[in-house]
């Protein structure tokens, strides 16, 4: 079950964190993985790890928010089966503390980046008469989170794009779903805590972990496992849905 043998997958932002875990798992399941990443050094490290374990992978240096660069990358990749829109950045602040520059930066990477990937993926998938798109949304698209104005905006857009794409391409046998994680332990989280809570790292890690009713953060492999299922043939009857993976945050955090 959940084999991706003979399939190819494009994953944005797979140089670290959730994207890296998805790339490693998809490769393990037989897929050829194309990593689109701004940090080429990080992407090459993931590619090396995949190849050393007998897999197949290529790195593509690109700013996902640059449409012309994305057009060239997708032209070089050619037909593929799976797109995972994972690339994204965060921002802390309410609307008053969010500058126009902050807002535009988050929009450019998180929203424009996903749009660019889908825009160039759909024609290739239509030629194959099939395809799977998985977008990384967030619980921030569903519930109000304090001081996450721009980030929530961007993930709400991802949620809406997922539904729109799923509906528009039913007849082309292209499925589109999204995943909405709560807080997941990644290098970004460690860096955020170190930057904002110097000397209180252990305390804040514990506090942030317990904000999930289950009592801990998620780990990247748990997110990757859900991504694998939704991108596999076993999920062939699933489209137009968002899947919270949140340790009970949305329904149980009363």
Residues 114-150 have pLDDT tens digits of: 999 999 999 999 999 999 999 999 999 999 999 999 9
Mean pLDDT, residues 157-181 taken together: 98
Q: How would you classify residue 176: left for phi > 0, otherwise alpha for psi between -120 and 50, otherwise beta? A: beta
* CA atoms of 95 and 47, how far apart (whole Å): 39
Burial degree of 171 (CB within 10 A; 0-12, 13-18, 19+): exposed
126 within 8 A of 206, measured Cβ to Cβ: no
Reference 35, options 75, 62, 4; nearest CA is 62
Per-residue pLDDT at 254: 62
Average of per-residue pLDDT values in the chain: 96
Per-residue pLDDT at 188: 82
115, 151, 159, 169: the active-site residue: 151
Residue 34 DSSP label: E
Asked: is 8-184+219-248 a CATH 3.40.50.10190 domain? The reply is: no
Tell me the per-residue pLDDT of 51-87, one tens digit each, with 9 for 90 and over.
999 999 999 999 999 999 999 999 999 999 999 999 9
For 9, residues 6+ apart whose C-beta sits below 8 A from its C-beta are: 23, 26, 31, 32, 33, 34, 80, 81, 82, 83, 84, 231
Per-residue pLDDT at 197: 86
Q: With a cut of 90, say whether residue 154 has pLDDT above it.
A: yes
Q: How would you classify residue 173: left for phi > 0, otherwise alpha for psi between -120 and 50, otherwise beta? A: left
Tell me the per-residue pLDDT of 1-51, one tens digit each, with 9 for 90 and over.
999 999 999 999 999 999 999 999 999 999 999 999 999 999 999 999 999
Domain boundary assignment for the chain? 8-184+219-248
Active site residue 243: no
Q: With a cut of 90, say whether residue 97 has pLDDT above it.
A: yes
Q: With a cut of 90, say whether residue 253 has pLDDT above it.
A: no
* CA atoms of 221 and 18, how far apart (whole Å): 8
């Amino acid at each position: 079950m959940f084999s991706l043998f003979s399939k190819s997958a494009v994953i944005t932002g797979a140089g670290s964190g959730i994207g890296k875990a998805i790339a490693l798992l998809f490769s393990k399941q037989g897929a050829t993985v194309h990593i689109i990443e701004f940090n080429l050094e990080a992407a090459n490290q993931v590619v090396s790890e995949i190849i050393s374990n007998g897999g197949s992978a290529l790195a593509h240096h690109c700013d996902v928010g640059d449409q012309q660069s994305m057009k060239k990358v997708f032209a070089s990749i050619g037909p593929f089966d799976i797109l995972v829109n994972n690339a994204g950045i965060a921002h802390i602040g309410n609307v008053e503390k969010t500058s126009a520059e902050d807002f535009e930066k988050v929009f450019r990477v998180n929203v424009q980046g996903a749009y660019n990937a889908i825009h160039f993926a759909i024609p290739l998938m239509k030629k194959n008469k099939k395809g799977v798109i998985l977008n990384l949304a967030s619980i921030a698209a569903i519930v109000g989170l304090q001081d996450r104005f721009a980030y929530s905006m961007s993930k709400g857009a991802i949620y809406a794009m997922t539904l729109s794409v799923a509906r528009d391409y039913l007849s082309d046998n292209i499925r589109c779903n999204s995943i909405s994680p709560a807080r997941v332990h990644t290098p970004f989280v460690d860096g955020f805590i170190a930057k904002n809570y110097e000397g209180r790292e252990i305390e804040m890690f514990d506090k942030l972990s317990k904000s999930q009713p289950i009592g801990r953060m998620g780990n990247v492999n748990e997110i990757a496992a859900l991504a694998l299922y939704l991108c596999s043939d076993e999920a062939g009857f699933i489209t137009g849905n968002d899947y919270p993976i949140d340790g009970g945050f949305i329904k149980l955090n009363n």
